[in-house]
Every structure is written in structure tokens, then in C-alpha cells.
Amino acid sequence: MLWKRGASEIASLVSKGELKPSEVIESFLRRFEETEEKVKAYITPLFEEALEQAKKLDDKKPEGKLFGVPVAVKDNIVIKGVRTTCASKILENFVSPYDATVIEKLKKEGALFVGKTNMDEFAMGSSTEYSAFFPTRNPWDTERVPGGSSGGSAVTVAVQSAPVSLGSDTGGSIRQPASFCGVIGIKPTYGRVSRYGLVAFASSLDQIGVFGRRTEDVALLLEVISGHDPRDSTSRKVPVPRYTEEMKGGVEGLRIGLPKEFFEFELQKEIEETFKGFISKLEEAGCEVVEVSLPHVRYAIPAYYIIAPSEASSNLARYDGVRYGYRAKGYSDIIDMFSKTRDEGFGPEVKRRIMLGTFALSAGYYDAYYLKAMKVRRLIYEDFMRAFEKVDVIAGPTSPTLPFKLGERLENPIEMYLSDVFTVPVNLAGLPGISVPIGWVRGLPVGGQLIGRPWEESTLLRISYVWEQMFPHYEKTPPL
């Protein structure tokens, strides 16, 4: 069964001529057909198109690091000629005229795109229930959420209808679903991967990242998509490491910081116990554990829910029914058209955040809210930098809870927002973060989060690589 193999293994077999790209896609297509009805991970499946492309590659000389490898893509990353909806009615029929930079890079390395995955509308949510089309289900228990906003991308990797996938992370949207679905999810340093072609939610926080079951696969995909892009002014000119080589560097002597503030939040007991087991295993592998303090981390959620909605209010002003996307019918004048289009086109969570952001930026409130939140953001960054003087990596649980039931938090936005209490500070500080599966509680996956210094994704991948030798989590498959 080819669909059980990882991206690196597939790429290696294809390059040696032992496998044809079409055989690979056919196997993943069969897996998609077996699993998709149960989990609803894709908005736009592209398996048939991928198979056509694969057949053309069958007789060609393999070129590129991902030649013939299937990749699923979150539906807020544009692919030329393919529908990009952001899981919103307002963009339901939008077909992109260009490729995102990450897509160009993957095409150059021979990757094949098998589908656009479901998400919370405009990446606003922590459960993939805010999609305008349908909720995605957690493959470990289909009555529960897969996390969000990149829930579809996490699920495709968990059920193995794709070996790797792309997501985006604004406040935990890769790491939290990775934790809920029992896969690896990495958010690189802000500026490591180009955002050109990523539909903007909060431009100073958004970052494209990767899901996979094996560290090697995540490292390979990250290596391909990273690097400076002149079309994205926030992309940095920093050399891209050979992640696939550097991940094998071992963990002997690494210092891991445990922030005492993380354990002052409400945390499910079984998650805390599983996390302690993870840390003691890393100590056995040669890591040193040090207590650190992040005193301002308790203000991360309030600061984030001022900064992110403010940027969203500005970024989403372009969806007005004039140039592209949905336009309401039956309006009296242009103002009426704007308001009806936005009222009918956006879902309740997107409207809530636009209103929060517009209020925070309005005259008379800017200093009291946005400016203050930006000052808190700086303090959070400085807390991390002080902690990194003593340690190499900071660790904590990825989520304070196990995956919750579908519908359980829809009526209580605050409870939903608190799902990201451990992941949001990482985005505010622009740091790299990875979630790795550290155990299962009552059949549900638990993730542990590792946070690195800026540009040091390699350190996180080293720990992930050593951990999976001790705890081969990738061998466990959801009981679909």
C-alpha cells in the first residue's frame, strides 16, 4: 500500500525508477475514496487532475526533490487555474490567475497537488467548524473536531490521503490541529516562507507551514518552500539550512525551558501527565530541563484578539462585490451593495472579528486598544528572548484540552479562543514552533509544542527526529 509511505520514501523510490508517479497518485486516490466521506477534509479534490499530470511524468526522467509526491494544500493558498475559496461563500467561485510562491517552488521540484483542503473561513477559528461548506471531522473520533483553522490539511495527513500538506498558522492554526490529529505540524519563523499568494488574514502573524507524519517529510517540504522572495516585503534574506541533514544532529546537551506560567493555565490533568512523560524521555535522551518564566504570556490572548482582528478588518475590506467574488442581488445603491454583499458573503465568526478589529482601530480607541496590544506584543517577545539566554528550546503542551466535540464551543467564542492559549504567544513573537504527537489519551492524540529561537527550525526538527525514534507515533493510524 503506497499510501502508507512517507513523502521522502516516495520521492526516493520514484527517483530510482522503482515507482511511477501515476502508481503513487492511484494509491492515494483509493485511500481518499475510502476515507473522505467519513472526515470531509477536502473542499476541492484534485486527484483526477493529479493523475493526468502523473501519467505525463511517468516517462520523464525524475527531476526535483518531490518528483511524483502528492501534496494537499490549504484552501487559502492560491494555485493558478484552481478554485481558492478560503472556505467562504464570498470566494466560492474564485479561480486564481496565479500561483503562490510556495506553489511555484513545489511545482519546480515535481510535486503533484491532490486537493485544496477545508479550513475555518478565512483561517478564523480553532475547529474547522466555521467553514461555509461543511465541518471537517477528527479521524480518531468523528464526533470531535480536528482543530483549526488548518483542520483539513491535518486530517489529510492523519488519514494518509496525502503524505504531506501545507497549512497556514496565524495563532496556532497548524500546531493545534496537528496536536488534535496526531501528526507533526511546524510553523516556521515569521519571514522564513514567502506569504505571496497566501490570502491574508493578519499579515504580521500569518505564516505558511507544513504537516507530515515523519520528521524527515516535514523537513524536506520545509526545505523546498523556504527562502527569500522579493514579492513579499516581510520575507527575510536568511540562508535556508539543509533541514533534512541538520535534523540528524542529536539532542545531547540541549537545554529545554519549561515556562512556569504555562502550568498556571487551566490544563487537563491527563495532558499534563502525558507532557511530563514526554519531557522525562527527552531528559533520558540527554536534554537538560530548566524552569523559565514568560511573565507576559497571560496577556497573549487579549493582545492577539485585538491585533489579529484589526489586521483582518483592514485585509478583508477588499471583499466588497466590486472586482471579484460574491455580489449580492437586489440592492438600491453602491453602499447597499457593499453591506448586503458582506452580510451575505461572510460567516458569523468573520463578521465578529471584522467588527472587533474595526472598533479597535476606530478614532478615539486606537491608543487604548491597538497601540497597547502592540506594546504587550513587544513585552512577550522580550520575555522569550530573555528565556532563550538560558535555554535552546521552550516546551509546553500544544493544547490545554483533548479534541472537543463538534458544536461544543460554537456558542462560546471565548472558550474557543482559549484553545490557542499556548500557541498564540509564538505568533506574536514571530518564532518557530512545532507540535509533535506525544501520546494518546482515551484513544485521542495529545501534542507537545517545542518553540525555538528565530531561524532555528533545525533545533526543533532535531528533537522531533530523536523523539520519533523513541516513540514511533507515525505507526499509529486512525481507526476509520
Active site residues: 74, 149, 173
Tell me the sheet residues that pair with 446: 439
Tell me the sheet residues that pair with 164: 71, 212
Given a contact cutoff of 8 angstroms between Cβ atoms, the answer to whether 120 and 148 are in contact is yes
Q: What is the largest CA-CA distance in the chain?
A: 70
Q: Is 95 exposed, middle or buried (0-12, 13-18, 19+ CB in 10 A)?
A: middle
Q: Using CA atoms, how far apart are residues 430 and 202, in angstroms rounded to an integer?
A: 13
Q: Using CA atoms, how far apart are residues 65 and 69, in angstroms rounded to an integer?
A: 9
Q: Using CA atoms, how far apart are residues 468 and 304, in angstroms rounded to an integer?
A: 32
Pairing of strands 70-74, 433-441: unpaired
Determine if residue 202 is left, alpha or beta; phi over 0 gives left, psi from -120 to 50 gives alpha, anything else beta: beta
Q: Using CA atoms, how far apart are residues 289 and 269, in angstroms rounded to an integer?
A: 21
Query: Over the range 346-371, which residues count as b (16 or more CB within 10 Å of their CB) and which as e?
Result: bbebbbebbebbbebbeeeeeeebbe
Return the closest-CA partner of residue 74 out of 153, 188, 128, 177: 153
Q: Using CA atoms, how far apart are residues 64 and 25, in angstroms rounded to an integer?
A: 17
All three cell numbers of 337, joined, read: 451593495
How many other C-beta atoms lie within 10 A of the C-beta of residue 119? 32
Amino acid at 223: E
All three cell numbers of 126, joined, read: 480553532
Return the closest-CA partner of residue 427 out of 163, 175, 224, 253: 175
Q: Using CA atoms, how far apart are residues 322 and 45, in angstroms rounded to an integer?
A: 29
How many other C-beta atoms lie within 10 A of the C-beta of residue 11? 26
